[in-house]
Amino acid sequence: MLTSSSPLLEDQDASNQLSQRSFAAPKKKSHSLSRTNWSWSSVASTILNTTMILALLYGVGICVSTIKGNLMPGNEYCLHSVSVSYNYITFTGDGYGTYNGPKCLNPLRTISTYASGKTFCTENEIQVGFDKIRRECNNEDLEFLDWQELVADVTEEDIAGMRIVEFDELPTGMNITEPVRLSRSFLDRVRNTLMAWEYEMNWHHQSGFALYGFWGLILGIATLCNVLKTQSTSSGSTSQFMQSTWRWIQVNLIIPPAFGSHHQRLLFWCTVPTRMETVVVATFYLLTTYLSVSHYRLISNNIYWDDKSQQLWRYVADRTGIMAYATLPLIWIFAGRNNVFMWATGLSYQAFNIYHRHIARAGTILAIVHSVVYTYLFVEYEGWSMFAREFTQLWLLLGVMATTTMSLLLLFSVSWLRIKFYEVFLVLHITLSVITLVGCFLSDEAGSSLLRSTGTHDDFDEEDGAFSASKRQSHGKTLTFWIRPYDGWTKRLRDSCLASPTYTTTPTILLEGPYGHHCPIATFGSVLLIAGGTGIASAAPYILEHIALSRSGKTATTQMYLLWTARQASFIHQVFARELRDVSHRDDFSTELFFTRQDASHKDVEEDGGDGAATPEIQQGRPDIAAAISKAAMKAEMMGQRVAVLVCGPPAMADEARIAVHSVMKRGCFGIEYFEESFGW
């Protein structure tokens, strides 16, 4: 059951989202909502995490299988080249009408293949080569002639007396009535072409596989760092080298933004990542660019494309298409909020979202290049008429549709649309993503054969608080949300509450989460909590946890500071009268509270003395965050303690705190750790 109270009509940018924390209902008049709800957190988390792992394994499996499938065993290559060469010669007899029919059913071609094989291949290569042809025929349900019976009476003299033909010597469509042998130049031309084609196909798929390797390496390094950091934090002992290395990484890569002071704040409607995130993203783009433009084997006398520029364009089109396809599982993995990799690496959702967006951009650029280059090939070398005929093919239409929807996904994912019209963005994002997947898979014949529908059944064990349905209110499992009415749904929710005589409403809510992870601030001797508006929803649980752990002596924290700025002082009074009423007289807890707008309710609280609980002093104005962080760091350093700074507030406040922590670190105070909570999507 969900109960949400909203006595706080705040106007802080940090408060756009619902805070998933548990609080009691207010004593005074408030606007609340409640409904019976089924919590699917544990089930949904399991399904999503499993799906992400399967998506990654699927992508890796496709790349590995295609790489393996394109690498032909060396002893098959000789007769395979001979067999392909005879595709350019037409013999009288059976088998024509299907691609593999002649090599399976035509006696003259089989004898000719054997004769050229005896000339250029070993006995073992002839045997395994014909075995390969037999498998290909069986795969298409075609009868394969007994080649050994056909050539039983063919002697060395017969082979030596056969006519030797060059490439393009025989007119197209001319029926040959006797076995013929290939010239050395004919076979070399075909063999070189096939080797170049295999080399390119191998590199195409290895390039896609390299993208998985890169992001697997990033996730692996982040996971290892997270494990080592957790162990060192819990044990309190780390080597001097590890400490100095970690400090350097924090000061130069993790804490500071890429440039300037923007991180949570948008710069020209764009997100500015940290330096570490910038290094990762830049390396990914460099790797993608290198893989897209390198390792192209262009040869003269190519039997498919004699013009080297045509070879290059074809290889570029294939490479970029396969790499674009390979990004799809990665885009999905980094898009998930309930993400097992996020838990393993300790990276924030914001970092994963940055990686998600850049992988999607790279994949879309690759898809656009793939489509444009293929279109150019059609028009330049086949003409508009051929292109118009091919454009009626379903596979081509679906491919164009997938590229178009990927481009539209980028267009409709700009920050301005996400912030101003989130519901529109969400519907468009889901719809276009589904269309993209359908277009990609169905445009690929190999991909369509991989689509399977299987029945699944997931068992899960019910545990306390993980799955419940109840009509009771204000019990131990009640979730309370603090909501700032803004625009859209939150504004409609407020209006619905105000329109009710009881100031309550019962809407239908779909709850997903919680997201993120718990910050280990209980391992720090000193803790500074900085909150803006309903960012207190992030700080309050840590305060209550500190009180509980202090009673049992399970915390290292000896001093906790709260620096909180809210728009209305009445909000601060209400929180300290309810959720934080037990912290007012504690020696290990101190506050600096600020409000930025005078309101009538604040005067009323001052006159009637509040709700019976002592409220700390509240100042009007804005705090000096940099000074507060510097003071907390100096005090902790004098006491030989480590200090944690946890921030949850408007983007400007978070960026100011981040820069202040970075400045303190650069001055040599390395006992400080920065944690940032944000309400975002």
CB 4 within 8 A of CB 496: no
CB 443 within 8 A of CB 403: no
CB 299 within 8 A of CB 194: no
Q: In the 8-state DSSP scheme, what is residue 479?
A: B
CA-wise closest residue to 560 among 660, 636, 627, 449: 636
Q: Which amino acid is at 617?
A: E
> pTM here?
0.75
Distance CA(145)–CA(260), nearest Å, equals 74
pLDDT at 211: 94
Is the four-CA dihedral 374, 378, 384, 389 of positive or negative sign?
negative
Specify the pairing of strand 643-648 against strand 266-267.
unpaired
Q: What is the DSSP string of 607-648?
A: HHTTTSSPPPPEEES---HHHHHHHHHHHHHHTT--EEEEEE
Question: Which residue's structure tokens are 């606007």?
Answer: 31
Cβ count within 10 A of residue 580: 24
Question: Which residue's structure tokens are 């898809």?
Answer: 367
Low-confidence ranges of the chain (pLDDT < 70): 1-71, 231-239, 443-479, 512-516, 599-615, 679-681
Contacts of 300 (CB under 8 A, 6+ apart): 306, 308
pLDDT at 478: 63
Alpha helices, DSSP H, located in 121-264: 123-139, 147-150, 156-160, 184-235, 240-249
pLDDT at 142: 87
Q: How many CA atoms lie within 13 Å of 531's alpha carbon, on the beta-carbon side?
A: 26
Distance CA(64)–CA(216), nearest Å, equals 15
pLDDT at 513: 64
CB 410 within 8 A of CB 375: no
Question: Which residue's structure tokens are 């209550």?
Answer: 544
Contacts of 270 (CB under 8 A, 6+ apart): 415
Q: Which amino acid is at 262?
A: H
Coil, helix or strand at residue 274 = strand
Contacts of 482 (CB under 8 A, 6+ apart): 4, 5, 6, 8, 15, 19, 21, 23, 534, 536, 537
Distance CA(296)–CA(201), nearest Å, equals 10
Rg (C-alpha) for the chain, rounded Å, is 34
Distance CA(261)–CA(256), nearest Å, equals 8
